[in-house]
Structure 1
Amino acid sequence: MRRSRSVLLSGLFGLVFLGSAVPASAAPDAGRPPAGTVLDNFTFVGHSGLDGFGDYGDLYAHGNYAYIGSRCAAAHQGGDGVQVVDISRPNRPRLVSKLPNPAYTRAEDVTVLDVHTPSFTGALAVVGIQACFGSGHEAEVVPGVRLFNVTDPAHPALLGHWDLPQGTIGCHEIDAVQRADGQVLVACARNLVDHRNSKGATALHLIDATNPAGPTTRADWSLNVDPNQGVGCTAAQFAHSARFEDGGNSVYVSYWDAGTVHLDISKPAAPAVVSDTKITPPDEDGDNHSMTLAHNGQWLIINTEDTSPADCPGDSAFGGWGEVHVYDNSNPKQPVFLGTFSTSDSRSTRTDGEFTDHNTEVAAHDQFFSSWYSDGIVWWTMTGHGVSAQRGQFVPPPNSDGSSSEVWGVYVDKIHNVILASDITNGLWIVKPNRLGSF
């Protein structure tokens, strides 16, 4: 399950899953976790192995439904779409439909929101489409964004699409928002391969999806940096992900090695840099994978996804696995370093799994839930003085071949007061943090 730079950094950026797909097991009985599950201050609620594809991506939830993306699988065929799961009874999750994507593409990132525009009213699912790198069909597929009507999640309907040129990899991570002025905006962050292979490739596209049947480009933006330069084990600079904040008047671009860039998009056609938070120092690798805000925007949370022990074995200069960095964002023009959080495994150089953070989501202002690959879901908190502490951990059981689980996505479900986790191989897990009460 270990990823390698020998395939052009493909594992790190979700291009190819190198582990063998292990068929998902049948859902265990409600309230009874399977053998090998780690439940430290968590209670097991439910599990779905989904359709057994065995190479799942990120996840999102909306109302009584969870949406889990998919990647390419070992055969590079892709095309497994976004799994739609009824979680109205969290202890009995039930697969009800799928948002389709073409063969040789992956649909690993998805977001869902309620929108009301003159063109469309209902629940809108936005899916990022990328070519499966290594399939041999990259030049044939059309990557970009697909937009679905999921007002009835059991019967989704394609509304429209926004396309990137054939031969490019596509939208690595996406986000969507409806602003107070009614505009529906979609953010598309491009992949490392696009940056390196296409001179001047755009890092971020802002797309107007107010009419989801006919989305249009509002802005193309990039930092003026050399994508082949950077620091640390993965010396590259590229836009990995984007996330809207401030009601869609800001977007944060996690720009690998170049910082977490806060853009003012109050005028979407003219993005303006507010700040660029570089984590080097204190981090020797400088990887900016993804972000979120906490404390009503007062804290900036940066995830690193640092895989140095696997990708630069034996090189002590790059230290251990990744950690979460927290910045005081009271002055958005100049965030100030506050502290870090890491697990004991992520401070090690062990290589029997992957022990780095991927995403972090927030509950009750100061309770953080991070997807941490082989460390599962980690629950932690931090004081205003930057002192962090782990509160709990959920780790799915090992795969049938003995390899560790790899949790990629995390979602704080405030409707059902549970935490959702997407395991690359074994699908959707649902757990509840003990004694946290209502989120």
Structure 2
Amino acid sequence: MDSRYIVKTALTGVLAFSMILPVQALAHDEIGDVNIEKGERANYENVVAPVMEGSKNLKFLKEVAAPEMEIVREDGKQNSFADVYAHKGYAYVGTHVQNNGNGGVRVFDLKDPANPEEIAVFANDDIPGTWQEKVIVKSISTPEFKGDLAVVSVQQLDKNNPDSKGGFLLYDVTNPETPKKLGFWEVSKKTRGTHELYLTTQGNRAVVVAANPYADYFSHGEEKDFQIVDVTDPTNPETLWQFDPRTLPEVSDDFNGYHWESPDGKTRPLFNHSTMVDETGKYAYVSMWDLGTVMFDISNPEKPEYLGRTDFASDQQGSAHSATLAKGGTILIETREVYNPVREGYEEAYGYTRIFDIKDKSNPKLLSEFKTELTYDIPEENNVTFAKTVHDPKVRGNTLYLSHYAGGVVAVDITNPSDPTEIARYTPEESDVWGVFVDRNYILASDIGSGLKVLQSNGNKQKDQSVPQS
């Protein structure tokens, strides 16, 4: 491997290990190479995973709440859970596909973080045959709307279902107890829908950046995987721009709407999995799988400017899954969801985290790669999903939090981004942690099987209390 690739492997010594039976997710492989959905769940036996003894206290974290997610559906069936977000002391938990989806977004009042109170469910009966994984909530002020706006991803369970459609919903959650539907943006029926998204403001304007995996492929180029949508008037969202990877010289005609003949001579998958925007609303970071994290200046959202992208060593599976920022936006953290560690022509490794200096976005510089040893054994014949790969990153100050499925939440000191060091880990029983989010004085996690977890600092030993980048 190129000498630029600095590997930091860190082990935490604070855990005791015992047998548990986590519930894994069966992947849906839509095209034949990459899985982006976690699917229905099934129990597997003989699985060993790390768990905390007793109170699950870490060096500076403790679990203060794991509320039982009460069934709210009329049919009495429970959904599985997806990502988590927080805004103004309320947690928003997306839902997954178990029991045919349509679980919507669950809202919790965190006034007392040790006793979260579920106060509302929304986006659960708008479009049949869909699931609502991702929710972003921001305070916006535009000529058409002033208040707290929620955008919710909508994905089809079956794109051949004539009653379903994909895209994203917009809700007024100024009063989180009574969410009000405002509008819907629809992407091509030929694709599953919008997978991950992000909401940002630019003065008195609001825009959503949307990841619509395989839209280019399934619509034969009519719609693209990355689109920017004006939601200044949430009742009337308007598409402003979409990205064609063929505009990049290293891609050009070597792209057929999904597979890309990359410069290293390998045929690699290329699609948009996730999007995010920095706190200024100026820069977008788009996780384009084996094209890396692609960076745009979107200060003019009708005419974004391509700035640069991360790349990979020839023996690395790309799998740029999601990203976040640190150090005032000068550091990019990129997580790679590699669920299959054995692939001919590539290193044998599950997904791990990469950290870049992006002060010059036209030339990202790799500072380090963070690998953590999740010391549990899943029989290879059963290890067909995501148990051992990293998933999503969030940052507060100098601490990076990684959701890690069966590994729970891993906390990493990135004071020196060239030398990341694992400092703590939280692993609930039957861990299958999808999302992590930092808000106020608590850390939130969402477990696919059991839902919301609330963690807090133990005796204010957490050394950084700056505003998180989400």
Encode CA deviations 1:5-56: one digit per residue, 9 max, x unaligned.
66656993126234369xxxxxxxxxxx997875432211111232352411
- For 1:98 and 1:10, the matched residues in 2 are separated by 35
Give the deviation of 1:383 after TM superposition.
Answer: 4.5
Give the deviation of 1:82 after TM superposition.
Answer: 0.6
- For 1:143 and 1:254, the matched residues in 2 are separated by 20
Q: 2:233 aligns with which of 205, 211, 220?
A: 211
Give the deviation of 1:277 after TM superposition.
Answer: 1.0
Q: 2:402 aligns with which of 354, 366, 370?
A: 370
* CA contact 2:29–2:35 (8 Å) conserved in 1: no
Higher relative contact order (CA 8 A, sep 6+): 2
Q: Which amino acid aligns with 1:154?
A: E
Alignment-derived partner of residue 149 in structure 1: 172
Q: Which amino acid aligns with 1:40?
A: L
Give the deviation of 1:273 after TM superposition.
Answer: 0.7
Alignment of 1:72-151 (within 5 A): 72-73=97-98, 75=99, 77-101=100-124, 102-133=127-158, 137=161, 139-151=162-174
Alignment-derived partner of residue 302 in structure 2: 269
Encode CA deviations 1:127-149: one digit per residue, 9 max, x unaligned.
11110148x62x43121111101
Alignment-derived partner of residue 199 in structure 1: 220
* CA contact 2:82–2:94 (8 Å) conserved in 1: yes
Matching of residue 281 in structure 1 with residue 307 in structure 2: no
Q: Which amino acid aligns with 1:427?
A: G
How many aligned positions are there?
409
Alignment of 1:368-407 (within 5 A): 368-384=400-416, 386-398=418-430, 405-407=431-433
Relative to structure 1, the CA distance from residue 11 to residue 238 in structure 2 (aligned partners, 3 Å threshold; closer, same or farther) is: closer
Q: Which amino acid aligns with 2:452?
A: L
Matching of residue 66 in structure 1 with residue 91 in structure 2: yes
Give the deviation of 1:282 after TM superposition.
Answer: 7.2
Q: Which amino acid aligns with 2:207?
A: L
Unaligned ranges ≥5, structure 1: 22-32, 399-404
Relative to structure 1, the CA distance from residue 84 to residue 341 in structure 2 (aligned partners, 3 Å threshold; closer, same or farther) is: same
Stretch moving more, 150-159 or 345-354: 345-354
Q: Which amino acid aligns with 2:181?
A: L
* CA contact 1:140–1:167 (8 Å) conserved in 2: no
Give the deviation of 1:349 after TM superposition.
Answer: 8.5
Relative to structure 1, the CA distance from residue 433 to residue 307 in structure 2 (aligned partners, 3 Å threshold; closer, same or farther) is: farther
Alignment-derived partner of residue 330 in structure 1: 359
Q: Tell me the TM-score normalized by structure 2.
A: 0.80
Unaligned ranges ≥5, structure 2: 1-23, 45-50, 72-77, 247-254
Q: Which amino acid aligns with 1:245?
A: D
Give the deviation of 1:205 after TM superposition.
Answer: 1.1
Alignment-derived partner of residue 307 in structure 1: 339
Q: 1:249 aligns with which of 253, 276, 282?
A: 282
Encode CA deviations 1:409-430: one digit per residue, 9 max, x unaligned.
10001x2x11100000100001
* CA contact 2:190–2:219 (8 Å) conserved in 1: no
Aligned identity (percent) is 28
Alignment-derived partner of residue 30 in structure 1: none
Give the deviation of 1:171 after TM superposition.
Answer: 0.7
- For 2:185 and 2:368, the matched residues in 1 are separated by 39
Give the deviation of 1:342 after TM superposition.
Answer: 1.7
Encode CA deviations 1:57-113: one digit per residue, 9 max, x unaligned.
11110012100111211x4x2111011111111100111111124221011011000
Relative to structure 1, the CA distance from residue 257 to residue 350 in structure 2 (aligned partners, 3 Å threshold; closer, same or farther) is: farther
* CA contact 1:56–1:425 (8 Å) conserved in 2: yes
Alignment-derived partner of residue 238 in structure 1: 271
Encode CA deviations 1:289-343: one digit per residue, 9 max, x unaligned.
011110001111101011124xx48x69441211110011121221101001121
Relative to structure 1, the CA distance from residue 37 to residue 316 in structure 2 (aligned partners, 3 Å threshold; closer, same or farther) is: farther
* CA contact 2:154–2:194 (8 Å) conserved in 1: yes
Matching of residue 49 in structure 1 with residue 68 in structure 2: yes
